[in-house]
Structures are given as C-alpha cells and as structure tokens.
Amino acid sequence: MTISYNFEMERVIKEIAERGVERVLIQLPEGLRPKALWLTRRLEAETGVRAYISGGTCYGGCDLPLHEAESLGVDLIIHYGHNRMLPDAGIPVIYVELRADFDVEELLNEARPLLENWGSIGLASTVQHVHLLPRAAEILRRWGFTPHIGRGAGWTPYDGQVLGCDYSTALSIAEMVDGFLFIGGGRFHPLGMALATGREVVAADPYTGKAARIGRGEAMRMLKRRIAIVEMVKKARNIGIVVSVKPGQSRIGEAEKLRGELEKRGYRAAIITLDVVRADILNDFTEFEAFIDTACPRIALDGLPDLRRPMITLQEAYIMMGVMDWGEMLRRSYPGGGWKRL
C-alpha cells in the first residue's frame, strides 16, 4: 500500500521566515529519519537557516529535545510526527503532524470480513491518519454499518484520535458501538483500546495492508499477565520509582507521593531519574527488586525485554497497594488515560 507523508514544507518555510529564526533543531520519529538529510538541506536552502538534527528519542509530543535545544542555543524546534501536548516553555516549537495518506477503501476492504457481525462501529486512529476517519465512516455507511467517531479533547484534540496513554475519544463512544475499527500501525493501540473500552477491536494496518481482530481473549490474556506482574512486585521490599526527565513525561510530584505511600506500607523506595528508560541502566541498580514506571505507561506495558526485575505502571502501583481495584482502573481507562487522573 502506497503511503505518502505531508511534511507541510510551505507552512514550515513560511513560519521560519516570519519568525526570523537563524538556527533550528529538527526532531523526527524513527521511521522518518531516512529523510533527515533531505529535509535539512531543503529547509536550509529555502530559508537560509542553520538546521541541526536531534539524534535523541522522539516518542511523542511529550518528548521534546528542550535540553539539546538549550545547549545548542537554537531559536526554534521543529517537531515532526505528533501534535502539541505541551505549552511552549522558553524555546518555541512548531509541530508538523506528518499526516499520512493512502487508499482507505483498499484497507477497509481487507477489514470488511472481520466486521460482518457488527452493526455500529467506533472509529479511531493516531494523529497520522485521523483525517481519514470521515472518509472511512462514509465507506462504512455505504456498506450498511453505523459508524461513530468520538469527540477529540485535551491531549487528543482530533475527533477519533487516540494515544498510547489516552483512549478517551474511544471511551466516550464505547457504549454505542459493537466494536472498534482502528486504522494505524502496530498492535499496541488496538490492544490498549480493547482493554480500555471492553470492546473487540479490528486493527487495520496501512503499513502491512492487513487487518486483524483483537478479541476479548487477547485483551484478557494481557490483563492476566499484568495481574501476575503486579503480584510479583507486591512481594518486593525495595522498589525503584522511575521518573523521566522528558518534558511531558516527568511526574516527580506523583513519584514523591507514591514513595510516601509505599513507605507507609513498609516498602523501601527511592526515585531514579532517567531520560531514556533502558533495561541495561536499571539492571545496574541491583538493590531494587522491582520498578514502578511513572513515565510513559508504554515502557512498563510493552516491557523492556532485558529488564531482570518486574516493572509496573503508576496506576498498577495503586492497585498493588489496594487503593484502587482492577475494575475501577479499567473504567478509568487502561492502559492509559487514568494515569493522569490519579
């Protein structure tokens, strides 16, 4: 399936010219890094700016290279691949969402046999393809289904948009639909949606051109794995609370509160700060028998393959301490969403 990305060159060039900036830092997600040289040369040639490429991570709109930008003394960050999550702090940021186009009907044809026994279908996607949801709704309507798209708000401002830490648009329509059709890459988001909403999800992936159904069985298997990990962490006595220094993931206040709650219950806890949370770094802290991830919930839920001790999310820590039960957390949205509302 042919996918074309919109780099919004005209807008970016205009904004650079209007702002009169001289030095910019470009931040690209992994999949688009093969375009970094082309992009840098084009921006430099068209605007006269000096452009630098950030080699750090670019996980989301939560992950801005503010420290790099400060140390380089650039006037502007150009962040590609996500929408704004944070207000500008010091250095201004332009967001280019990299909307990706493809033939929606071709992809929906792949998904159609998996939708057959549904009448009412919720639609969801990541920011890259969210603009294609009205077209997908039109096709579904033509095929006799009743499509619904949840209203965007907060960190997911676009109708139907979901994040790995926020499924609120899907949750808002869960009661009205028989299941969800997710349009986007990978299994993490559709699995998260299945857990958050309690509905089956058909994942239609434009990068593979394939569709797959994520049933209750798969969602329940993931939940059982999480319950088992929480039980393991409960038995630990020494716990490391991982705090990210990424601007949109830093939860130092939550981490301090959690440390107090753990210590009240007899655990020994300390806070470990990191930019990129990596297994090899955490493995060096051999006193800790378990870790609690207060940063992006995907770190714990996707799992760090070589991490030698169990890791749970901030929400799961409150389940472990008996402050919240699984039912409540699922109602608040799992794996994401609720972690911001503790």
Shorter beta-carbon distance to ligand SF4: residue 112 or 332: 332
By the 8 A CB rule, do 85 and 61 touch?
yes
8-16, 159-167, 209-217, 309-317 -> range binding ligand SF4 (CB under 6 A): 159-167
- DSSP string covering 138-155: HHHHHTT-EEEEPPPBTT
Asked if residue 298 binds ligand SF4 (CB under 6 A), the reply is yes
For residues 339 and 96, what is the distance between their CA atoms, to the nearest angstrom? 27
Please report, for the chain, how many H helices and E strands are present, in that order. 13, 15
Shorter beta-carbon distance to ligand SF4: residue 29 or 92: 29
Asked if residue 156 binds ligand SF4 (CB under 6 A), the reply is no
Q: How far is the CB of 63 from ligand SF4 (least distance, A)?
A: 6
Buried b (16+ CB within 10 A) or exposed e, 123-152: bbbbbbbbbbbeebbebbeeeebebbbbeb
Asked if residue 249 binds ligand SF4 (CB under 6 A), the reply is yes
Q: How far is the CB of 70 from ligand SF4 (least distance, A)?
A: 21
* β-bridge mates for residue 204, sequence order: 183, 211
Asked if residue 333 binds ligand SF4 (CB under 6 A), the reply is no
Count of residues binding ligand SF4 (CB under 6 A)? 10
- Cα angle: 68, vertex 71, 76; to 5 degrees: 65
Q: How far is the CB of 82 from ligand SF4 (least distance, A)?
A: 7
Q: What's the token pair of residue 124?
A: 């969801």
Secondary element (H or E) of residue 55: none
Among 25, 58, 77, 165, binds ligand SF4 (CB under 6 A): 165
Q: How far is the CB of 263 from ligand SF4 (least distance, A)?
A: 26
Shorter beta-carbon distance to ligand SF4: residue 54 or 249: 249
Length in residues, the chain: 342
Q: How far is the CB of 225 from ligand SF4 (least distance, A)?
A: 19
Shorter beta-carbon distance to ligand SF4: residue 248 or 310: 248
Binding site for ligand SF4 (CB under 6 A): 59-60, 62, 163-165, 248-249, 296, 298
